Amino acid sequence: MIAYLQCINKTCQEKFPITTKTYHCSKCKALLDVNYNFAKIDAQELKTRFRERRNSFVPIDQSGVWRFRELIPFLTDEQHIITLFEGNTPLYDAPKSAAYAGLKKLLLKHQGLNPTGSFKDNGMTTGIAQALALGAKAVACASTGNTSASMAAYAARAGMLAAVFIPSGQIAYGKLSQSLDYGAKTLQIDGDFDTAMQLVLELSQESDLYLLNSINPFRLEGQKTIAFELLEQCAWQVPDRLVIPGGNLGNSSAIGKGLAEAYQLGLIDRMPKMHIIQAEGANPLARMWAQGEREKLLAVEKATTLATAIKIGHPVSWQKALRALDWCKGGGCHQVSEQEIADAKAIIGSDGIGCEPASAVTLAGIRNLVNDGIIDKEEKIVAILTGNLLKDPDYTVNYHLDSLYQKSQTKTEIIDQQNKIVAHFANQPIQVSAEKTVIKQVLGL
C-alpha cells in the first residue's frame, strides 16, 4: 500500500484505502490526508529529474503538478490525468511592494497565471484524476468563483458533468463567466458560501456526485506542489517566511503539507515560518489565533469582505491550517482591513503585477508585521498571490475611480437595445432555493 487515506485526528489516525469515496473519517468525522509509504529517495537525483522534465514534450512532464509525481504517487493509471499544463507559475521580484511593506526585497509567487487564473488548477488536476480513477461521472463544488471556474474547465476536458453551487449575487462576473463558458451546470443558491458548501457536501454523500472542494484531500495533493515548485525556484534554499491568503484554508494546509514532506524526505534542511492572512470581516482563524483557541472553530456568521475569494466564515480546512502553522513554527494568522487590502492591491499593481483582491491581503499583512517588529526588513519573504487581476476587474476599476465602497447598491439600466446576438449555445445559471430535493431534480440525481 503506497498511498492511503488517514484521519488527521492524533487520537484516531484511522486509515482507509484510497478507493474509498469519503471526505471524513468514518470513526471520528475528522478530515483526511492522502499519505504515502515513501521509498527512500536520493534527494539530489530527484531534484535533477524534476528540472529535466521541464525540457520534455510529454504532457504530464509539462504540468507543474505532475512534474513532481514521485511526491504525489496515488494514481495507478496515468491515463486518468487531465492536464491543462497547470503550475509552472512565476516568482516575481516586487521592489515597489517591498518598499511599501518596509522590506529590502519581496518575492511574489503568482498562482493567478494558471490556466483558469488561480491556484485552484494545481489541485483540480489531481482531484479530477481521482474522480476518474473512482469512475465518477459528475463532480461538484461550492464556490465563491475560482474553484468553480477551475473545476468546470477540467471537468469539460474530462467529459464529466460539473455542478457548481454559488451564493446568489456574491460572485465576481469574471469568475462566473468561466463556469458558464466551460459548460458547468451553475446553481445560484439562496444563501452564502457556507450554505452552498453544506448543501453540496450533503448531496455528495447522498448521490454519485464527487465533491471537489478543498475538503477533498486529493485536491490538496495537487496544491501542495506549489511548495515544491517554489522551493525549486529558490534553488531549494528555504525562505524565512511564506505569507498566504486565508479563505477556506485549503491552500495554506496543502502548502504546509508539501513543506513538511519535503523536509521529511530531505529535499530541504529546515521549515520556513508561515503566516496566514484573512480579511477582518471573514476572520475565523485569525480570531482563534488571537484568542489562543485551538479546538473549536470560531466561525463568522455572514462573513463580509470585498475580497470575495476569501469571503468564508466556516472554513472546512481550519484544523489542517492550524497544523501547518504548527509545522512552520514562528508564524501565525492575522487579519487586515478592507482599506489595507485595497491599497496593497494597488501597490502590487504598480509593480506591473495584477492580482485579485484576496491575493493582496498578503502584502497588507506583511506591512503590518514589519511595522509591528515581527518581520525584519532583511528577511527573505515569499508571498502567494492566488488569483488573476481579471477575476474581479470591477473592484480594480472602482478603486482607481475612487468609487469603491464596502457596501453599495448598483442599478443598471439599459437605455437602448439593437441587433440582438442570439445565444445559440447559452448556458444560463439556474436560480434555486437552498433545498436538496429541488437541486436533485435540477441535476437529475
3-state secondary structure of 439: helix
Q: Examine the pLDDT at 404 and tell me if it is beyond 70.
A: yes
Copy the grid coordinates of residue 74: 496515488
Q: Which pLDDT tens digit goes with each residue over 125-171?
A: 999 999 999 999 999 998 878 999 999 999 999 999 999 998 877 67
User: What confidence score (pLDDT) does residue 117 get?
Assistant: 96
User: What confidence score (pLDDT) does residue 194 get?
Assistant: 84
Contact 307, 361 (CB under 8 A): yes
299: closest CA among 172, 192, 152? Answer: 192
* d(C-alpha 427, C-alpha 236), whole Å: 45
User: What confidence score (pLDDT) does residue 139 get?
Assistant: 97
Q: Which pLDDT tens digit goes with each residue over 285-322?
A: 999 999 999 999 999 998 999 999 999 999 999 999 99
Q: Examine the pLDDT at 415 and tell me if it is beyond 80.
A: no
Q: Which pLDDT tens digit goes with each residue over 144-153?
A: 789 999 999 9
Average pLDDT of 336-353?
97
Percent with pLDDT over 90 in the chain: 80
* d(C-alpha 198, C-alpha 180), whole Å: 22
User: What confidence score (pLDDT) does residue 145 get?
Assistant: 83
Lowest average pLDDT, out of 1-10, 135-144, 192-201, 420-429, goes to: 420-429
Task: Give the CA dihedral 280, 284, 288, 290, nearest 10 degrees.
Answer: 0
Average pLDDT of 5-14?
96
Contact 163, 189 (CB under 8 A): no
User: What confidence score (pLDDT) does residue 168 get?
Assistant: 77
User: What confidence score (pLDDT) does residue 172 get?
Assistant: 74
* d(C-alpha 285, C-alpha 143), whole Å: 19
* d(C-alpha 376, C-alpha 304), whole Å: 31
Contact 140, 163 (CB under 8 A): yes
Q: Which pLDDT tens digit goes with each residue over 17-54?
A: 999 999 999 999 999 999 999 988 999 999 999 999 99
DSSP β-bridge partners for residue 311 = none
Lowest average pLDDT, out of 176-190, 211-225, 263-277, goes to: 176-190
pLDDT band at 355 (very low <50, low <70, confident <90, very high): very high
Average pLDDT of 325-331?
96
3-state secondary structure of 386: coil
User: What confidence score (pLDDT) does residue 442 get?
Assistant: 83
* d(C-alpha 445, C-alpha 442), whole Å: 8
**Where is mean pLDDT largest: 108-112, 175-179, 198-202?**
108-112
Q: Who has greater pLDDT, 441 or 377?
A: 377
User: What confidence score (pLDDT) does residue 423 get?
Assistant: 66
Q: Who has greater pLDDT, 173 or 366?
A: 366
Q: Examine the pLDDT at 413 and tell me if it is beyond 80.
A: no
State the SS3 of 228-293. Answer: HHHHHHCCCCCCCEEEEECCCCHHHHHHHHHHHHHHHCCCCCCCCEEEEEEECCCCHHHHHHHHCC
Residue type, 73: P
The continuous run of DSSP H or E covering 327 comes out as helix 318-327
Q: Examine the pLDDT at 65 and tell me if it is beyond 60.
A: yes
Q: Examine the pLDDT at 409 and tell me if it is beyond 80.
A: no
Residue type, 23: Y
> Which is it for the CA torsion 264, 268, 273, 276, positive or negative?
negative
Question: Treating both helix axes as pointing N-terminal to C-terminal, what angle do 284-291 and 318-327 enclose, rounded to 10 degrees?
Answer: 50
- What b/e sequence results for 162-199 when a residue is b if at least 16 CB atoms lie within 10 Å of its CB, and e otherwise? bbbbbbbebbbebbbebbbebebbbbbbebbbbbbbbb
User: What confidence score (pLDDT) does residue 250 get?
Assistant: 95
Average pLDDT of 366-376?
98
* d(C-alpha 353, C-alpha 385), whole Å: 10
User: What confidence score (pLDDT) does residue 390 get?
Assistant: 92
Copy the grid coordinates of residue 19: 478507493
Other C-beta atoms closer than 10 Å to the C-beta of 280 total 19
Q: Examine the pLDDT at 445 and tell me if it is beyond 90.
A: no
